[in-house]
């Protein structure tokens, strides 16, 4: 949301990570689809892509798998990665997604998502 739905803003990820880091949270994982590492196309803009590589080196960003089949990109359902890790590590999910489909998929995830989903917003560069 930092890129106003016009660009994928890697700086927004960094601002969010820094906000939690400054409050003493050190076990932070950000899931990003692996195709975000590719050269951006005019219809899929991305800014400050180098930030993703820096956060990956610090083991904060984890890229979810994707592959090409017949020239088309096939991506995994990364929401499952997010909810599973947070549930298994007794963490918090930071997202504006409500994960309704996953709430219905596993009963133990429903209560977890209801109680451990932290929604957010940006005001310019303020998280």
pLDDT score of 78: 86
User: Cα–Cα distance between 42 and 85 in angstroms, integer?
Assistant: 33
Residue ranges for the chain with pLDDT beneath 70 = none
pLDDT score of 72: 76
pLDDT in tens, 43-59: 778 889 999 999 999 99
pLDDT in tens, 98-115: 999 999 888 889 999 999
Q: At what angle do helices 107-116 and 78-88 cross, to 10 degrees?
A: 80
Q: At what angle do helices 10-22 and 50-57 cross, to 10 degrees?
A: 40
What tokens were used for 83? 């909810």
- Closest by CA position to 49, among listed 64, 39, 59: 39
pLDDT score of 5: 80
List the chain domain ranges.
1-26+35-64
């Amino acid at each position: 949301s930092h890129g106003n739905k016009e660009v994928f803003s890697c700086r927004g990820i960094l601002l969010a990570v820094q906000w939690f880091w400054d409050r003493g949270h050190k076990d932070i994982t950000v899931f990003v689809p692996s195709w975000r590492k590719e050269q951006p196309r005019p219809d899929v803009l991305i800014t400050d892509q180098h930030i993703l590589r820096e956060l990956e080196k610090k083991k904060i960003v984890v890229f979810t798998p994707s592959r090409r089949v017949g020239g088309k990109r096939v991506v995994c359902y990364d929401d499952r990665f997010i909810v599973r890790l947070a549930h298994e590590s007794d963490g918090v999910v930071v997202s504006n997604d409500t994960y309704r489909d996953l709430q219905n998929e596993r009963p133990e995830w429903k209560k977890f998502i209801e109680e451990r989903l932290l929604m957010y917003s940006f005001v310019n560069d303020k998280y």
